[in-house]
Structure 1
């Protein structure tokens, strides 16, 4: 068995005296493990840092074996990202999120979104909002996508300012007014409105509260897990970065179009 692919390094653990078990998120083969001989060497160790992009060839006698990776450096971004506390916690959180996916289950759209996020993870004006959008995509890939396009009560597409914690659907201001204390706020930058000012600290906090609620309800809780400490640290760093950045920038771009799948 053999294949070649592109991948994002999620982590590596020591194996024997000089090798590592490498964990990647690959474009076409999903989250995948493999042995890298000499992975702890001076030449390979910098390449196998979380967040880096690599080109790999995987070989094994049988498909169910762990197999071996031959690895070549592609995009070495970890040194730059590790200089930012926000990016450092973001890498850790991203890796934990991707580990929620089944092994060897391809998610090419989520892979493309992760690449885009990593390229901007140290940018205070972009990373927090992009990470929230990534978490929405992750929920969708896991089968718990939110419907933020129309009001759950009226079917309207205008003035959507809430999300129902029960259905995961948007609710308009008028329809949600009597129940607003029981609804989750829908930040403006997730409503697809043009020419909005850059999301402020309150909107970023609301976005992370929104995605965190559904991750807790549908993913972490049912698996007997709690929210990762790395995510809490990343959210704190993102709030600080949002608070201290200039307010003149416009709303961040969306994730790559090819990372979004249509869902009924």
Structure 2
């Protein structure tokens, strides 16, 4: 059994004296593991950094085996990430999110989102927005999608400013007014094209996705929110992009 496909490195862990187990994300085959022989060598280490794009060649005797990887560099990003705390944490957070998915389960939408994200890791403002979109897509892929397109009460598609914490559906300003203190804020840029993406809007958006991730994903699995998420929010705040405090 074998295949070749472009992939994004998520992480590695030691395996024996000189090898590593590499974890990558591919568009057609999802999150995939494989042994890289000599992966701890000076030549291989720069290639195996999280966030790098590689050409992956996987081989195994049987499909259910872990198999081995030969990973050839396509785009190496480690050097540029040294100066970007937001970028480093974004890569780690995206990898943590993807690990919530079953191995070898294809999720092309998330792969495409990750591919766009890693192209902007040194641009904090863009990273913030792309990570929010990634978390919304993740919730949908896990079966907990948010409905931010129309009001749950009236069906209208404009003036959507709230989200129900119970249903994850948008609520209009008028319909939600009597319960505004019990509803989550819906930033305009998530509800419509061209909405503002200022500090307050980003803060509200990360609180929104964080709430549903905690309730529907982290809590039921008995796991904590990834440390990289706290690190990303702190890096964005330091950069002047105020988020969750």
Instruction: Please classify the TM superposition score into its range, dividing by the shorter chain length.
Output: over 0.9
2:218 counterpart of 1:220:
yes
User: Hey, what does 1:60 align to over in structure 2?
Assistant: 60
User: Hey, what does 1:18 align to over in structure 2?
Assistant: 18
CA distance in 1: counterparts of 2:43 and 2:241, whole angstroms: 40
CA distance in 2: counterparts of 1:169 and 1:239, whole angstroms: 28
2:183 counterpart of 1:164:
no
Aligned pairs for 1:37-52 (under 5 A) are: 37-52=37-52
Is the contact between residue 9 and residue 25 of structure 1 (CA under 8 Å) also seen in structure 2?
yes
Is the contact between residue 87 and residue 124 of structure 2 (CA under 8 Å) also seen in structure 1?
no
CA distance in 1: counterparts of 2:20 and 2:192, whole angstroms: 44
User: Hey, what does 1:202 align to over in structure 2?
Assistant: 200
Residue by residue over 1:161-214, the C-alpha shift from the partner in whole angstroms, topping out at 9 and shown as x without a partner, is 0000101000000000010111000011111143x44x1211111110000000
The ranges of structure 1 where at least 4 consecutive aligned residues each deviate by more than 2 angstroms after the TM superposition are 239-244
Aligned pairs for 1:110-149 (under 5 A) are: 110-149=110-149
Deviation at 1:122, TM superposition (A): 1.8
Deviation at 1:223, TM superposition (A): 0.2
| Structure 1 counterpart SS, 2:7 | strand
Deviation at 1:125, TM superposition (A): 2.6
Residue by residue over 1:69-127, the C-alpha shift from the partner in whole angstroms, topping out at 9 and shown as x without a partner, is 01110111122123211111111111100101100000111101101011112202311
User: Hey, what does 2:228 align to over in structure 1?
Assistant: 230
Deviation at 1:242, TM superposition (A): 4.0
User: Hey, what does 1:251 align to over in structure 2?
Assistant: none
| Structure 2 counterpart SS, 1:125 | helix
Give the alignment's Cα RMSD to 1 decimal: 1.2
CA distance in 2: counterparts of 1:230 and 1:124, whole angstroms: 15
| Structure 1 counterpart SS, 2:239 | helix
Give the number of aligned pairs: 242
| Structure 1 counterpart SS, 2:146 | coil
Residue by residue over 1:117-159, the C-alpha shift from the partner in whole angstroms, topping out at 9 and shown as x without a partner, is 1111220231111111110011111111100000000000110
Deviation at 1:60, TM superposition (A): 0.5
CA distance in 2: counterparts of 1:168 and 1:207, whole angstroms: 13
CA distance in 1: counterparts of 2:200 and 2:238, whole angstroms: 11
Is the contact between residue 85 and residue 235 of structure 2 (CA under 8 Å) also seen in structure 1?
yes
Is the contact between residue 125 and residue 241 of structure 2 (CA under 8 Å) also seen in structure 1?
no
Q: Which structure exhibits the higher relative contact order, with contacts defined as CA atoms closer than 8 Å and separated by 6 or more residues?
A: 1
| Structure 1 counterpart SS, 2:171 | strand
CA distance in 1: counterparts of 2:73 and 2:193, whole angstroms: 39
CA distance in 1: counterparts of 2:101 and 2:241, whole angstroms: 33
| Structure 2 counterpart SS, 1:126 | helix
Unaligned regions of 5+ residues in structure 1, if any? Answer: 245-264
Is the contact between residue 55 and residue 72 of structure 2 (CA under 8 Å) also seen in structure 1?
yes
